[in-house]
Amino acid sequence: MKLLIWDIDGTLTYTPGLGRRAMERAFEEEFGVSGALEGVPTAGGLDVEIVGQVFRRYRLPESRLQSYFDRYLRILEELLASPHAGGPTPGVVEALERLSARKDVIQVLGTGNIEPGAWIKLRRYRLDRFFETGGFGEKPGPRWTVIRTAIDRAREHYGIGDLRPEDIYVIGDTPRDIEAGRHLGLRTVSVATGPFDAGELARHRPDHLLPNFASPWEHIFFP
């Protein structure tokens, strides 16, 4: 059995700047703070930490965190419903279809998105049909904690036993995905469909590097 853990933004989907815009608009509408994410890196980060940084910077009350995220989710849904540049990354739908047809593969999410945000993004492009569970960016901590949770939930949800680390793949578009996978001794697969180009990703030495899933990928999971 092989377990594939997929990142969302820049890996499964490509929605340039849209999530960030939704977060910023929510800060504007909820607190009257504009340009809230200026200088805050979001790629590969956890939603709760990105938003937490802004809360601390502007000394916003933690008690409003839930209402902030509720507003963010409404705006995210609205922005995704309007015309925008973006969609599944090249080749990824076909890859997911072929992988999900296999009996020896389980696919889960490993994303910095809060869970409802993750499903909103996936539903928009009908990618939610490939996933049932995963790890999400809801608790502060290093990104590998999200991957750890994804593995635990996969085992529980699908009733599988211990997997060998070399049969678990962390698929992502940022150096943070590589670091998270390596920290847990897992296989790392980088795709250059996000903000980092192949050269930059190569410097972080993933086990495998793909321009996108339109190029041959089978050898990675089924050597």
The distance from CA 209 to its chain's CA centroid, rounded to whole angstroms, is: 17
Asked whether the beta carbons of 167 and 223 are under 8 A apart, the reply is no
Q: How far is the CB of 29 from Mg ion (least distance, A)?
A: 25
Q: Is the dihedral of CA 131, 98, 181, 178 positive or negative?
A: negative
Cβ distance to Mg ion smaller for residue 7 or 138: 7
**Residue 10 or residue 134: which is nearer to Mg ion going by CB?**
10
Which CB, 36 or 170, lies closer to Mg ion? 170
Shortest approach of Mg ion to residue 100 CB, angstroms? 21
Residues that bind Mg ion (CB under 5 A): 7, 9-10, 173
From the CB of 106, what's the least distance to Mg ion, in Å? 20
Q: Which is nearer to Mg ion, 71 or 176 (CB)?
A: 176
Smallest distance from Mg ion to CB 58, Å: 26
Residues 6+ apart with CB under 8 A from 183: 142, 144
User: How does strand 208-210 pair with strand 187-191?
Assistant: parallel
